Amino acid sequence: MIELRNLEKAFETRAGQTFVLRRIDLKIESGEFVTIMGPSGAGKTTLLSILGMLDHAWTGEFRFLEHDVHAMKPRERIDLNKKHIGFVFQQYHLLDDLTVAENLDIPLSYRNIKGSERAALVADTLDRFQIVGKKDLFPNQLSGGQQQLVGVARALIANPKLLLADEPTGNLHSDQGREIMRLFQKLNDEGTTIVQVTHSEENARYGHRIIRLRDGWILGEETVKDRIGTTTGAAR
């Protein structure tokens, strides 16, 4: 699904070029659950932003679903993002002035979907994530875990092929975090490719593979041996 070749990102400073990512070569197959790990400043979130087409200032090759992203204009990349990618943020990033249902509707409203169809999708998603009773609440009326749940639901409502999650449990306590990770695993079992960034070794054990970054370089990759969850084995 994803192939990166010699991908690099750097800033120009007075001292010269400062690299955030260096010669990243990476392949992620469809249906994989991949974790990107590394210390602060390793470039994990930057890599995720590039995968999510939120960051356009990089060099190298990036192929996504047979598309040469490196050859596309930013607008074309955004269209690709809209069609196939969902993003879960560490700070949830729900819109405070919108209810749960309206927050779920927002990505649909940016995708030229008719109102009646959107309403049906929102209803289905509320049902799927068992948050129907909370549809008229505002984010400040939900717990952290509930907000992140809504964030995940929002990321998935348009049926993306790829789910990117940046420290999805970073602001949650451990029980809530486990709930979210179990949900991710379930989604992956259902066919969604997931790439997460995390500091947590425990969270990494929900996935199939770990990619370790340091100072912008990929140090190595490893398959998760003692995977947590209902399914075991390699990626489909």
Q: Provide the binding-site residues for another protein, judged by CB under 8 A.
A: 45-46, 49, 52, 54-55, 75, 78, 81-82, 87, 89-91, 93-98, 106-107, 109-111, 154, 166
Q: Which is nearer to another protein, 14 or 75 (CB)?
A: 75
Q: Which two tokens stand for residue 97?
A: 């002035």
Please say whether the beta carbons of 208 and 32 come within 8 A: yes
Give me the least distance between CB of 208 and another protein, in Å please. Answer: 26
Please give the Cα distance from 205 to 201 (Å, whole number).
Answer: 7
Q: Which is nearer to another protein, 78 or 228 (CB)?
A: 78
Give me the least distance between CB of 153 and another protein, in Å please. Answer: 13
Please give the Cα distance from 103 to 97 (Å, whole number).
Answer: 9
For residue 195, CA distances in Å to 35, 105, 125 come to: 6, 24, 21
Q: Which two tokens stand for residue 121?
A: 């999708």
Q: Which is nearer to another protein, 72 or 98 (CB)?
A: 98
Please give the Cα distance from 179 to 213 (Å, whole number).
Answer: 26
Give me the least distance between CB of 71 and another protein, in Å please. Answer: 21
Q: Which is nearer to another protein, 47 or 224 (CB)?
A: 47
Please give the Cα distance from 94 to 103 (Å, whole number).
Answer: 7
Give me the least distance between CB of 229 and another protein, in Å please. Answer: 28
Give me the least distance between CB of 147 and another protein, in Å please. Answer: 13
Q: Which is nearer to another protein, 88 or 126 (CB)?
A: 88
Please say whether the beta carbons of 69 and 111 come within 8 A: no
The number of residues making up the chain comes to: 236
